[in-house]
Chain A
Amino acid sequence: MTESVRLPLIALAGNPNSGKTALFNALTGSRQKVANYPGVTVERREGRLSTSSGKGLRVLDLPGVYSLDPQSPDEEVTRDVLLKRLPSEDAPEALVVVVDATALERSLALVLELKPVFPRMVVALNMADLAKARGQELDLQALSKGLGVPVVCTVATRGQGIIELLAEVERALEASPRAAAVAAAEPDHSVAAISARFAEVDRILKASRRHELAPSFWTERLDRVVVHPLWGSLLLGVVLAAVFEAVFTWAGPLQDLVDALFAWLGESATAWLPAGPLQSLIVDGIIAGVGGVVIFLPQIVLLFLFILLMEDSGYMARAAFLMDRIMGRVGLHGRAFIPLLSSFACAIPGIMATRTIENRRERMATMMVAPLMTCSARLPVYALLIAAFIPNRKVLGPFGLQGLTMFGLYALGVVSAMAVAWTLRLTALKGPQPHLLLELPTYKLPAWRNVLMGLAQRSWMFVRRAGTIILSLSIVIWFLASYPKSPEGAPGPAIQYSYAGRIGHAVEPVFRPIGFDWRISTGLIPGFAAREVMVGALATVYAVEAEDEEKLQTALGDRLAGSWSLATALALLIWYVFAPQCLSTLAVARRETNSWAWTGFMLFYLTALAYVGAFIAYQGAVLLGWG
């Protein structure tokens, strides 16, 4: 048992948007560990700190709740930790309830609900500066007396009140004996009990509030435009277009840097190691495989940056509110907009972001369609095939045929996702029309410290995945494509004799009706690990020599244009709109749905859509004489 395990554990609880995570960041700084709670995929954030008296503490940031009557998997975790129902978790020895000083009525009801369950409690009255700016004046002593627990004013984003808060926590830890810290009684959720708690909150506030809170000046004025059905929707369209433009254009130079880094690594390894199987494993397997995925890191970081900025400023809740009308028509929840937007970068964070959707059926429907959003891993395949087969000429004013084809592939993904969600909500995931009950927080300037820490954590999760799953798959794919070796003097590329080549030949009859020969079938097999691997796999199959990505794409494109028909290229493009060719997505879907059946269904329906779509595209193109 390490020293950190023995340190007393304090938990942070509070309503969503109360500034809990900002307080956690202010308390622990960079000494944080992000993982998941055992058995579920709810994020678990624990950090360490030292008080001014030198006492070490562990801090647990619990998911936000409105009460201990959970409505989502995140809220269930908070209830289970506080009621000691998670055997793998240490029981917290003290609880800090973070209260939004600008929303006292709702926040204090949670304090009163938690108090009998957790008597060793301190209330952090957060965003005290915003409440003061809006004219609220509080008698802290009266508030503390009314609640029966110590109350400390904090401004977490500026680190104010942290020392006073920790002093109160230390006092609470010393005052009551450890055994009395957790009563672990089930709170009363009856209507009468809830009404009584709110009546008590009114009584306490009457006794402690000297000046009422004025409405937020900026929030009211901004919301007249931002949540307006017409102007708000137009603004959302502009914001989303700007985000996409930034993600695709700003990321370019950074992606070139990553590409150059991996090219340098490959060249260095080639120079350092003599030619042979180990050099091939490191250069063609590991560096090419991992580099092919890490190249999308800049796009993912930028997308997360915009998502975090929208969340922190309070705009994301408004966007979900506006999108609810469109999403509701296909049976999806307004909150599904955020995961589906994230899926344009990568379906993995998209599927993980569905945790905010409370209803299981709506959450499941969103997860099932998230892989249909065109993720950035499809771009290399689209770019290769469009450049090779679609003529570069203007057709609609300034719009070129190549750009329109790319747009059409994105649109096909979105339309299919909506159609699948609608079908699922009418059949397997049938249920009442979703209702959106959403708190619209006041607008705030994003706290850069929080945004950067959130960005660093999410980026690290992506890099860690690349370092584990993608690294492992790259090694396995290299093995399948390299062994057994071709007999000496055998004609054709060596991959034809490998396990991957043999599998390609074996499955060729299945893919022949959609226009794929054994070479494409061979490329599809490693492409099942990650879509973009297909480009490298095709290059290997066609035995193209290339030094860098651009040269590789040009040379390969010419080769493909000479060997495939337009019908085959169109079929492969349609295949990639639908095909679930990403093992990481399937692995995350398995974890998030906690069901092999739903993961199997996702794999099956996406493969079936891909096959049928590619079949129609190929046979239709042949009929038109493009075969």
Chain B
Amino acid sequence: MTAQIQEIIALAAVGGVALYWSRRLFRAELALPLARLLLRLGRVKWAFALRAWVAVGRGRSKD
């Protein structure tokens, strides 16, 4: 395995971790306030889609 391929795999792992935690943090802490803001701005469809996404995640993990 060349150093270049090793580097790509290592950086992909770092990127994957960053993506996973930002998605989790967004879903747990930011998605609902954002949905409320969207509702206030009249973007009803987006707001409900966001709330449904949060609810699906909670139902799946139960933690």
Contact = CB atoms under 8 A, between A and B. Distances in A.
Interface stretch (A103-111, A208-216, A417-425, A471-479): A471-479
Nearest to A278: B6
Interface stretch (A145-153, A269-277, A354-362, A387-395): A269-277
Contacts of A433: none
Given A277-B10, A475-B13, A475-B14, A35 B20 contact: no
A273 B1 contact: yes
Contacts of B7: 276-278
B62 interface: yes
Given A277-B3, A278-B1, A278-B7, A472 B58 contact: no
Contacts of B59: 38, 88
B48 to A, nearest CB: 16
B44 interface: no
A35 B6 contact: no
Interface string A572-610: 000000000000000000000000000000000000000
A88 B21 contact: no
Interface residues of A, number: 20
A472 B63 contact: no
Contacts of A37: 62
Interface string B1-26: 11101110111011001101100000
Nearest to A471: B17
A479 B6 contact: no
B24 to A, nearest CB: 10
A248 B11 CA distance: 39
Nearest to A33: B62
A134 to B, nearest CB: 41
Given A36-B62, A38-B62, A277 B6 contact: yes
Given A475-B17, A476-B18, A36 B63 contact: yes
B14 A476 contact: yes
B63 A35 contact: yes
Contacts of B6: 273-274, 276-279
A412 interface: no
Contacts, number: 52
Nearest to B5: A278
A38 B57 CA distance: 10
Contacts of B63: 35-36, 38
A502 interface: no
A184 interface: no
B1 A88 contact: no
Nearest to B1: A274
Given A273-B1, A472-B17, A278 B58 contact: no
Interface string A499-519: 000000000000000000000
Interface string A27-56: 000000001111100001000000000000
A44 B10 contact: no
A281 interface: yes
A36 B28 CA distance: 14
Contacts of B58: 38-39, 88
Contacts of B9: 278
A492 to B, nearest CB: 22
B58 to A, nearest CB: 5
Nearest to B20: A472
Nearest to B62: A35
Given A35-B63, A36-B62, A276 B13 contact: no
B1 to A, nearest CB: 6
Given A36-B63, A44-B62, A472 B10 contact: no
Interface of B: 1-3, 5-7, 9-11, 13-14, 17-18, 20-21, 58-59, 61-63
14 contacts: A38-B59, A38-B63, A39-B58, A88-B58, A88-B59, A276-B2, A276-B3, A278-B7, A278-B9, A281-B14, A472-B17, A472-B20, A475-B13, A476-B17
Given A38-B59, A277-B3, 20 more contacts: A35-B61, A35-B63, A39-B58, A88-B58, A88-B59, A273-B6, A274-B1, A274-B6, A276-B1, A276-B6, A277-B6, A277-B7, A277-B11, A278-B6, A279-B6, A280-B10, A472-B17, A472-B20, A472-B21, A478-B14
